[in-house]
A and B are shown apart, each in its own frame.
Chain A
Amino acid sequence: MKKVKVATAWLDGCSGCHMSLLDMDAAIISLGRKIDIVYGPLVDAQEFPEDVDVTLVEGAISSQDDLSRIQKMRQRTKILISLGDCAVNGNVPAMRNSIPVSKLLQRVYVDGSEERKLIPTDRVPALLKQARPLREFVKVDFWLPGCPPPAKAILGLITDLLEGRKPEPTQPVKFG
């Protein structure tokens, strides 16, 4: 049987959702027989491949770079999933949203810095005015809230997809 190509992505988030993903213990081994992780922080691939079946995205869209990445992922993925609160509703990254970007950078890189009081300009992607959830930029197929979503819930969702069911959470998922 051909393995399902799964990608994961880490945008503006804390990587907690990826930790939760790895937290599914032994189940990950049997899962590994059915899927190939083709992209993401867990593997080496540098470029997001074409024709991915499922992509799990952690984090909000906060920078120009996040935006172009999510657009590319959307183009190359059949099923796109918002994984965790940041991707679903902005969560902690969105707490900066009522502060103008220039003030924010000033506070972090100049006022709050001991040395090299300088706002970085290159190699750091430009911030968008606000950090916002995925669905405000691209079409999202499924959402799995939680901070982080429990490993079981992630496993349940992937299993449902592998078995061709419309994912229905077996236990209630909650924000936070």
Chain B
Amino acid sequence: MAQKKLSIRIDGQLISAEEGQTILQAAKANGKYIPTLCALDGLTPVGACRVCLVEVSGVDRLFPACTTPIQEGMSVTTNSPRLTRYRRMSVELLLVERNHTCAVCVSNGHCELQSMATALGVNTVGFAYNYPKLSVDMSHPRFVLDHNRCILCTRCVRVCAELEGAHVWDVTSRGIHARIVSELNEKWGQATSCTNCGKCVQACPTGALAEKGWAVEEMVKKIGTVTSLVHRRGVQV
């Protein structure tokens, strides 16, 4: 059955989109760019990173494009001074939260957080750095988990649970102490449910999850392999 079509406006341009699509999906299908960090095609959107917030005319609140379904006649603004300010703020806060030492990171030059900072013109941060003490889990034979680079987007959690079906990853603790754990806080290398498929590594937007054996700048994520897998399997979300 053909989906019902809805008419909406994105940045003033009238477009036609399918009912049930989110603002992000509708925008993408029509070649409109909305920045994202936690969203990944094919995974359940969680609305956690807030960089995809957009304005909807007539409403004061901001809406996450990744989870908000479109409505007939909706007029969406994807860019405004306020949105840019807020997106910068999110990126700045991520940069001070943990230790993103780009210069010595395997993902330097191929990192979504780094390129978003560049795109938003972030050349300094107005807050004091936290410099927390965080561990690096090297126990897995092929992969490494570096909490210093993690932005808690939970793509790894979702790709593992929803695509691989292993659900190795989850989030433990609250607030600023929240962090990714494998199984019930086992070392990754001891996590028996892990199938070593590496999807989490490819889905990770930063250098938090990486393959072993690469030096600085050498880890290039093959995010396309994850998303194409989604489409091949026709996973519905």
- Verify B101–A88 contact, CB threshold 8 A: no
- Verify A175–B100 contact, CB threshold 8 A: yes
- Verify A176–B108 contact, CB threshold 8 A: yes
Pairs A-B, 10 closest by C-beta atoms: A176-B102, A98-B133, A147-B103, A97-B131, A143-B124, A175-B102, A176-B108, A174-B118, A143-B123, A176-B103
Considering only residues 60-95 of chain A, those with a C-beta below 8 Å from chain B are: 82, 85, 88-92, 94-95
Residue from the set B101, B109, B121 with the largest chain A CB neighbour count within 10 Å: B101
Q: Mark A124-156, 1 if CB is under 8 A from B, else 0.
A: 000000101101100010011101000000000
- Verify A135–B124 contact, CB threshold 8 A: yes
Inter-chain CB contacts under 8 Å: number: 69
- Verify B119–A172 contact, CB threshold 8 A: yes
Chain A proximity of B81: nearest CB distance (Å): 17
11 A-B interface contacts by CB (under 8 A): A89-B95, A89-B125, A94-B101, A97-B131, A98-B132, A98-B133, A133-B129, A175-B95, A176-B102, A176-B103, A176-B105
Considering only residues 103-126 of chain B, those with a C-beta below 8 Å from chain A are: 103-105, 108-109, 114-115, 117-119, 121, 123-125
Give the chain B neighbours of A145 by CB distance below 8 A: 123-124
Q: Which residue of chain B lies nearest to A131 when distances are taken between CB atoms in the complex?
A: B131
Q: Is B99 part of the contact surface with A, judged by Cβ < 8 Å? A: yes
**Interface size class, chain B:** 20 to 34
Q: Is B1 part of the contact surface with A, judged by Cβ < 8 Å? A: no
On B, residues with C-beta under 8 Å from A are 95, 99-105, 108-109, 114-115, 117-119, 121, 123-125, 128-129, 131-134
Give the chain B neighbours of A169 by CB distance below 8 A: 123
How far, in whole Å, are A32 and B161 apart by their CA atoms in the complex? 61
Residue from the set B99, B100, B109, B119 with the largest chain A CB neighbour count within 10 Å: B99
Give the chain A neighbours of B123 by CB distance below 8 A: 88, 143-145, 169, 173
Q: Which residue of chain A lies nearest to B132 when distances are taken between CB atoms in the complex?
A: A98
**Other A-B pairs, 4, CB within 8 Å; known A89-B129, A94-B99, A132-B128:** A91-B101, A95-B101, A132-B129, A144-B123
Give the chain B neighbours of A133 by CB distance below 8 A: 124, 129
Give the chain B neighbours of A135 by CB distance below 8 A: 124
Chain B proximity of A20: nearest CB distance (Å): 13
Give the chain B neighbours of A173 by CB distance below 8 A: 118, 123
Chain B proximity of A150: nearest CB distance (Å): 13
